[in-house]
Amino acid sequence: MPTFVYMTRCDGCGQCVDICPSDIMHIDKTLRRAYNIEPNMCWECYSCVKACPHHAIDVRGYADFAPLGHSVRVHRDEEKGTIAWRIKFRNGKKDMELLAPITTKPWGTAIPKLADQPAPSQAVRDSELLFNEPKYIRLDDGNLHTLKSAGLKLKAGVYY
Partner 1 sequence: MGYKTIIEDDIDILVAGAGLGGTGAAFEARYWGKNKKIVIAEKANIDRSGAVAQGLYAINCYMGTRFGENNPEDHVRYARMDLMGMVREDLAFDMARHVDSTVHQFEEWGLPLMRNPKTGAYMREGRWQIMIHGESYKPIVAEAAKKSADKVFNRICVTHLLMDDSRENRVAGAVGFNVRTGNYHVFKSKTVICGAGGASNIFKPRSVGEGAGRVWYAPWSSGSAYGLMIEAGAKMTQMENRIVLARFKDGYGPVGAYFLHLKTYTQNGLGEEYESKWFPALTEMVGKEYLDTEGQHLSHKPIPTCLRNHAFISEVNAGRGPIHMVTMEAFQDPHLEEIGWHNFLGMTVGQAVLWASTDVDPKYENPELTTSEPYVMGSHATGCGAWCSGPEDVSPPEYYWGYNRMTTVEGLFGAGDAVGGTPHAFSSGSFTEGRLAAKAACKYIDDGKGEGIVVSDKQIADLREKIYKPLETYKVYSNEVVAGSVNPNFINPRQGLDRLQKLMDEYCGGFGVNYMTNEKLLQIGLRKLKMLDEDMAKIAASDIHELLRAWELHHRVRTSESVFQHTLFRKETRWPGYYYRGDAMKLDDENWHVLTVSHRDRKTGEYTMEKAPLYHLVADE
| Stretch 68-127 residues interacting with partner 1 (CB under 8 A) | 68-72, 74, 76, 83, 85, 87-91, 93-94, 96, 98, 100-105, 107-115, 117, 119-120, 125
Residues in the interface with partner 1 (CB under 8 A) total 92
* First vs last C-alpha separation in the chain: 44
Closer CB to partner 1, 13 or 39, in the complex? 39
**Under 8 Å between Cβ of 5 and 54:** no
Report residue 74 CA to chain centroid gap.
14
**Under 8 Å between Cβ of 129 and 137:** no
Shortest separation between residue 32's beta carbon and partner 1, angstroms:
17
**47 phi/psi in degrees, rounded to 5:** -60, -45
Q: With binding defined as CB under 8 A, does residue 153 bind partner 1?
A: yes
Q: With binding defined as CB under 8 A, does residue 130 bind partner 1?
A: yes
Which of 4, 9, 13, 66 lies at the binding interface for partner 1 (CB under 8 A)? Answer: 66
Residue 50: count of CB within 10 angstroms of its CB:
19
Length of the chain: 160
Catalytic residue among 43, 62, 89, 107: 43
Shortest separation between residue 128's beta carbon and partner 1, angstroms:
6
Which of 6, 7, 45, 54 lies at the binding interface for partner 1 (CB under 8 A)? Answer: 45
Distances (CA, A) of 65 to 1, 62, 68: 9, 6, 10
> Is 43 one of the annotated active-site residues of the chain?
yes
Shortest separation between residue 127's beta carbon and partner 1, angstroms:
9
- The DSSP line for 28-53 is -TTT-SEEES-GGG-----HHHHH-T
Q: With binding defined as CB under 8 A, does residue 28 bind partner 1?
A: no
Catalytic residues: 43
